[in-house]
Amino acid sequence: MSTKMIKGLLLVIALIAIGMAFVRFNRVILPEGAVPVVWDGEVCGHCKMHVGDPRFAAQLQTTAGDVLNFDDPGCLFDYLQSHEASVHALYFRNYDEDGWLTESEVGFLPVEDSPMGYGIRAVPRQTPEAQDIDWARRQVVNRAHHQHGGS
């Protein structure tokens, strides 16, 4: 083998190794489950208020590895309505018990007062009279429509 061929082969091997290292070290590792929230230490990804009442918190995890916390489920739905986000997972704090509910486990009920006034709370889907996630999204859209003078 000539010296030029050996140098060319070594260059190709080096480029492949660099490419593999770049992919390996820049790979996004997505969380499994909800990421812990520092109550009153993090701001809502939508309204920028402090996330302080665990009963109403929600969390968006994107496929890019971003984790956004929200102080009200309505803020999460408003955020998704106005931002393009590739969703990895959605989590909602259980209003009645400590813990998180996944998108497939969650149901929603009206509530008199929520941090940002959307009037919805997350409960387990099997809770009597609980509505699905599409109902909750409609509540948020209808609220925004009504507040902006829509008919």
| pLDDT band at 16; cut points 50, 70, 90 | confident
Q: What is the DSSP letter of 54?
A: G
Specify the 3-state DSSP secondary structure of 67: strand
Q: Which ranges constitute the DSSP H helices of 26-150?
A: 73-82, 133-147
Q: What is the DSSP letter of 124?
A: E
Q: Which amino acid is at 84?
A: E
Count each helix (H run) and each strand (E run) in the chain, helices first. Answer: 3, 6
Q: What is the pTM for the complete model shown? A: 0.78
Q: Which amino acid is at 127?
A: T
- Gap between the Cα atoms of 67 and 13, Å rounded: 37
For residues 147 and 81, the answer to whether their CB atoms sit within 8 Å is: no
pLDDT digits (tens, 9 = 90+) for 105-150: 999 999 998 999 999 999 999 999 999 999 999 999 887 655 544 4
pLDDT digits (tens, 9 = 90+) for 73-102: 999 999 999 999 999 999 999 999 999 999
